[in-house]
Amino acid sequence: MEWRKFNGERLNLPLEETVENAIIKEIELGHRLKICIGSDSQVKGKITEFATVIVFLREKKGGFMYFSNEKTIQRMSLKERMIREVSSSVQLAYSLCPLLDKYHVELEVHADINTDPGFKSNVALKDAMGYILGMGFVFKAKPEAFASSCCADRKVQ
């Protein structure tokens, strides 16, 4: 998977190394960090595009993010697509856990799923929440899930 900065610039180092370097730099600058991971998707004809983001929040000092895109022609229901988004976020969070634990960085996993039963995405809420919480992560859904519903949403082309 190819990872990029918000401006589209490709990351030259492996993701884990890039994330660790960013954490070290931010800590040296005196920032307290929280990382939020989320995914979003869009269906365009026969293609579904997914975007996954890592958002670095500096307490009271803004933030920055890295993102990756993936496309598939696999047909799936809305619930399957929502769970695939969550699965991408959980897998990424799980791979970064050793680094985040090492540097005591908080982590949240965001799901682009509405808590209001009036919205179609709500069909996946219980499964997504169970998956994320079952893996031991802090779970956020809309409207609090900005990493998925705002950041990843902007990177789904």
How do residues 25-35 score in pLDDT, each as one tens digit? 999 999 999 99
The residue segments making up the domain with residue 119 are 3-155
Lowest-pLDDT choice from 37-46, 104-113, 122-131, 146-155: 146-155
Q: How many domains does the chain have?
A: 1
| 3-5 and 63-72 strand pairing | antiparallel
Q: Considering just the CA atoms, what is the radius of gyration of the chain in Å?
A: 15
The pLDDT, as a whole number, for residue 153 is 78
Give the pLDDT band of residue 123 (cuts 50, 70, 90).
confident
CATH number of the domain at 33, please.
Answer: 3.30.420
User: Would you say 6 and 67 are in contact if contact means Cβ atoms under 8 Å apart?
Assistant: yes
Both tokens of 35, joined, read: 């990382």
User: Would you say 36 and 146 are in contact if contact means Cβ atoms under 8 Å apart?
Assistant: yes
How do residues 36-83 score in pLDDT, each as one tens digit? 999 999 999 999 999 999 999 999 899 999 999 999 998 899 999 999
Q: Report the distance separating Cα 69 and Cα 39, nearest Å.
A: 10
From the list 129, 10, 122, 111, the residue with the least C-alpha distance to 52 is 111
The pLDDT, as a whole number, for residue 17 is 97
